[in-house]
Amino acid sequence: MNTKKNIEEISTDIIDDILDKIRYVPTGDNSQHWNFKWQKNQILIYHNKERAKHILNDHFHASLLSLGCIIENIDISAKFHGLDFHVDYFLEDLTQDLLATVTLFTMPTDPDMLYPFIEKRETNRNPFSRQPLKEEWLKPVMQKFTKMGVNIHSLERPDKRFFKFLLKCEQYIWFNREVLLDTVKWIRFNEGETIASRDGMNLENVKLKKIDAYFLKLFRQSAFLQKLVWYFGARWKVNFDAKSVLKNTSNFVCVTINDTRALSLVNAGRAMYRTWLVLTKNNYAVQPMTIASLLPYVMHNKSYLRGCNMSFTKSFADAPKILKKSFNLNAENPVWMIRTGGANPLDPGSRTTRRNIKDFML
Ligand SMILES: Cc1cc2nc3c(=O)[nH]c(=O)nc-3n(C[C@H](O)[C@H](O)[C@H](O)COP(=O)(O)O)c2cc1C
């Protein structure tokens, strides 16, 4: 018996809900660099390259991780509504906008228990309380993704060398002018900017005070002032805050892949998104640590990282060794890492906002 039905028989409420939930996936700096088209029983996923443009996303590796978050998000919300799905990827040429089509069909499936956490998931950049996570939480995620060549590793105590490397990575944005300018583009300095754009990150979200915002605006105007303030003060504060955040972390969780295919990065994104939701369900907060994990991968993969100075080039060159030793890896490539621990959810006012679904639709 063919249990597949055409999506046209599926209620528009369900279609609307699946599309609505997609909005909540994380994107770098909340740039929301996706567009969608709904066609018969398919969701077409387009990369909005203008929005995705960022020196930290030079080869679109971060976009591929975010695409993985979208696919896993659809997996969860589709199953919640008794639907299954099939994905066709178009990843050979990332200059093209259409990256995937997801075909949905009705099929008796177990509802996914992570559905209620799609809207609760958030990025939390605060210090966390240290309460080691339970390995058993991640086991089902590991089981699902080992088949796709993705593994998940967790670490409680970083050794000195790893800690020093993480601390240095926290300086990357401030040290490097192009990275700073591309990031500041997505900072919303007041409520009016947040309401008007419904994207980016407000000051509280990135833990900046009004005075920091004042300096950021100065840095935006002048490279000289950026250097001056960095050497005569900012670097001590950045270092002090970063130490507190890194020390107050229960676990670092790293996703690894076995090869360098674009599809493997998408699958790594899927695994990390599911991990993120599992941690959210267990009241654990999450902050991605992309500079320390993805940038070394990109540098090795592409042999060059645009905008990276000598000192960071050396650190990123050494990073795979440090990560492999810390997470006890063999040949696998670490690609995306998060820190996690106990924390209260963010205040509603400091959470990121999303554009309306009609703004995503083509
Ligand atoms: C691929 C990717 C990389 C990210 N890297 C970082 C990071 O290095 N540091 C960080 O604090 N947040 C990082 N984020 C989190 C985003 O800034 C965050 O998801 C976005 O602002 C939306 O906020 P939300 O996660 O609270 O919904 C990353 C997100 C994605 C998808």
Instruction: With beta carbons less than 8 A apart as the criterion, state whether 282 and 186 touch.
Output: no
User: Secondary structure of 274-333 in the HEC alphabet?
Assistant: HHHHHHHHCCEEEEECHHHHHHHHHHHHHCCCCCCCHHHHHHHHHHHHHHHHHCCCCCCE
Instruction: Give the separation between CA 248 and CA 126, rounded to whole angstroms.
Output: 9
Q: Is residue 30 part of a domain?
A: yes
State the average pLDDT for the chain.
Answer: 93
Categorize the per-residue pLDDT at 307 as very low, low, confident or very high, splitting at 50, 70 and 90.
confident
Cα 287 to averaged position of ligand 1 atoms, centre (Å): 7
Instruction: Give the separation between CA 42 and CA 7, rounded to whole angstroms.
Output: 8
Residue identifier of the C-alpha nearest atom 22 of ligand 1: 30
Cα 157 to averaged position of ligand 1 atoms, centre (Å): 23
CATH code for the domain in which residue 17 is found: 3.40.109.10
Provide the number of structural domains found in the chain: 1
Q: Is residue 91 part of a domain?
A: yes
75 lines ligand 1 (CB under 6 A): no
183 lines ligand 1 (CB under 6 A): no
Categorize the per-residue pLDDT at 111 as very low, low, confident or very high, splitting at 50, 70 and 90.
confident
Residues spanned by the domain of 352:
7-157+248-360
Provide the pLDDT for residue 226: 86
Instruction: Give the separation between CA 305 and CA 317, rounded to whole angstroms.
Output: 11
125 lines ligand 1 (CB under 6 A): yes
Instruction: Give the separation between CA 59 and CA 203, rounded to whole angstroms.
Output: 28
Instruction: Give the separation between CA 121 and CA 280, rounded to whole angstroms.
Output: 6
Q: Is residue 339 part of a domain?
A: yes
Q: Is residue 237 part of a domain?
A: no
**Atom of ligand 1 at shortest distance to CA of 27?**
31
Taking CA atoms, 120 is separated from 15, 105, 130, 153, 221, in Å, by 21, 27, 21, 24, 36
Categorize the per-residue pLDDT at 174 as very low, low, confident or very high, splitting at 50, 70 and 90.
confident
Cα 289 to averaged position of ligand 1 atoms, centre (Å): 9
Provide the pLDDT for residue 8: 53
Q: Is residue 307 part of a domain?
A: yes
User: Secondary structure of the chain in the HEC alphabet?
Assistant: CCCCCCHHHCCHHHHHHHHHHHCCCCCHHHCCCEEEEEECCEEEEEECHHHHCCHHHCCCHHHHHHHHHHHHHHHHHHHHCCEEEEEEECCCCCCCCEEEEEEEEECCCCCCCCHHHCCCCCCCCCCCECCCCCHHHHHHHHHHHHCCCEEEEEECCCCHHHHHHHHHHCCHHHHCHHHHHHHHCCEECCHHHHHHHCCCEECCCCCCCHHHHHHHHHHHHCHHHHHHHHHHHHHHHHHHHHHHHHHCCCEEEEEEECCCCHHHHHHHHHHHHHHHHHHHHCCEEEEECHHHHHHHHHHHHHCCCCCCCHHHHHHHHHHHHHHHHHCCCCCCEEEEEEEEEECCCCCHHHCCCCCCHHHHEC
Environment class of residue 297 by beta-carbon count within 10 Å: exposed (0-12), middle (13-18) or buried (19+)?
buried
26 lines ligand 1 (CB under 6 A): yes
Q: What is the pLDDT of residues 275-298, one digit of tens each?
A: 999 999 999 999 999 999 999 999
- Residues of the chain with pLDDT > 90: what percent? 80
Backbone angles phi, psi at 33, to 5 degrees: -85, 50
Cα 27 to averaged position of ligand 1 atoms, centre (Å): 6
Q: Is residue 215 part of a domain?
A: no
Place of tokens 């990357």: 172
Provide the pLDDT for residue 235: 85
**Atom of ligand 1 at shortest distance to CA of 63?**
1
176 lines ligand 1 (CB under 6 A): no
Q: What is the pLDDT of residues 194-237, one digit of tens each?
A: 999 999 999 999 999 988 898 888 888 898 888 888 888 788 88
Q: Is residue 88 part of a domain?
A: yes
Cα 8 to averaged position of ligand 1 atoms, centre (Å): 35
- Residues of the chain with pLDDT > 70: what percent? 98
Structure tokens at 80: 């919640």
Residue identifier of the C-alpha nearest atom 10 of ligand 1: 288
Structure tokens at 198: 């419904």
63 lines ligand 1 (CB under 6 A): no
Burial of 99-108, coded b for 16+ CB within 10 Å and e otherwise, reads: bbbbbbbbee
**When comparing pLDDT for 220 and 99, which is higher?**
99
Instruction: Give the separation between CA 203 and CA 69, rounded to whole angstroms.
Output: 25
Ligand 1 probe mutation, 123, 289, 340, most atoms within 8 A of CB: 123
Is 4's pLDDT higher than 70? no
Q: What is the pLDDT of residues 144-164, one digit of tens each?
A: 999 999 999 999 999 999 999
Provide the pLDDT for residue 75: 96
Cα 29 to averaged position of ligand 1 atoms, centre (Å): 6
Q: What is the pLDDT of residues 45-88, one digit of tens each?
A: 999 999 999 999 999 999 999 999 999 999 999 999 999 999 99
Cα 66 to averaged position of ligand 1 atoms, centre (Å): 9
Q: Is residue 345 part of a domain?
A: yes
287 lines ligand 1 (CB under 6 A): yes
Q: Considering only the C-alpha atoms of the chain, give the largest distance between any 2 of them, rounded to a whole number of Å.
A: 73
Cα 324 to averaged position of ligand 1 atoms, centre (Å): 23
Instruction: With beta carbons less than 8 A apart as the criterion, state whether 299 and 313 touch.
Output: yes
Instruction: Give the separation between CA 115 and CA 198, rounded to whole angstroms.
Output: 23
